[in-house]
Amino acid sequence: MNSYFQVLGRNLLAVSIFYGLPVLQLVFTYQKVLNVTGDLDICYYNFNCAHPLGPVTSFNNVFSNIGYVLLGILFIILVWRRNLVYPSTMAFSMVWDLALIMEGVMSACYHICPNYSNFQFDTSFMYIIACLCMLKIYQTRHPDISAKAHTSYLIMALVIFIAVIGVIYSSSVFWVIFAVVDMTFYLVLSIHIYYMGRWKIGQIGTSFLGNNSELGIETPAVSREGNRNCIVLNFYDAHDVWHMLSAIALFFSFLILLTIDDDLFSTKREKILVF
């Protein structure tokens, strides 16, 4: 099992390098073209709260992703200390860490020059994190059954491919089919979890996500009409706050998955109910 997670981690590291370097090259090229030509329609910034630093036009949107990186490093330290007391496999936890850190890096890259064609850079590692969490939850109760690392990444690639299709081939037919499949899936899922609890503070976090100050799917002029002023320290806008809140939420979600069976530490496996 440990070797499986090590393969998963090495593959994710390779994917991160080969995916991240072209993204860096592309967004900095966009930023350079914007600075040289002065064409502000290339990138969709919140100009009412855009603080430049060096060649970066909206540094606050980039810097607000530091939470993903710092909390990822903190999680590594916590896992390392935990492993000293309760020796167990650390490989899967390291995969989470790398995915969380790369989410911060890729989100920062996207916000160097945010536009509709770059949006998948910001979301790719979100899909990977979601898939890794599902693998972890399943593996917790099925330690002898695990998907092959390459199969897992193939499924993740398929999810990202569907997202890219949504960017390139944004037709009504595609979105209708996607919406039907998505709603059907969540309807079935909701039937299973409805009585397990309801969201208490979910609307607070999603309000910052939905408060878009730059709309990449619209024209530059329409996007500027949606620009909003800074709301925190006269430096961060609502989307920056979303970065901070989502980083914290992911960090605590990882802690839950890490300690989910701590109360069953001394319980025999045959007495633990399977899902």
18-58: pLDDT as tens digits: 888 888 888 888 888 888 888 777 888 888 888 888 888 88
Q: Which two tokens stand for residue 171?
A: 């037709």
The string of DSSP letters for 39-98 reads -TTSS---GGG---BTTBS-HHHHHTTHHHHHHHHHHHHHHHHHHHHS----HHHHHHHH
Range 50-79 average pLDDT: 88
Confidence at residue 208, expressed as pLDDT on a 0 to 100 scale: 47
CA distances to 66, 115, 228, 249 from 215, in Å: 23, 8, 12, 24
Nearest 10 degrees: CA dihedral of 162, 9, 27, 105? Answer: 110
CA 98 – CA 19 distance, rounded (Å): 14
More confident residue, 30 or 188: 30
pLDDT digits (tens, 9 = 90+) for 253-262: 888 888 877 7
Torsions phi, psi of 99, nearest 5? -65, -40
Whole-model pTM?
0.73
What one-letter code names the amino acid at 33?
V
Write down the mean pLDDT value for the chain: 76
Encode pLDDT of 236-269 as tens digits: 888 888 888 888 988 998 888 888 777 766 667 6
Q: Is the pLDDT of residue 180 over 50?
A: yes
3-state class (DSSP) for residue 231 = coil
Give the residue among 206, 229, 226 at the shortest CA–CA distance from 216.
Answer: 226
Structure tokens at 243: 């970065």
Domain locations in the chain as residue ranges: 2-262
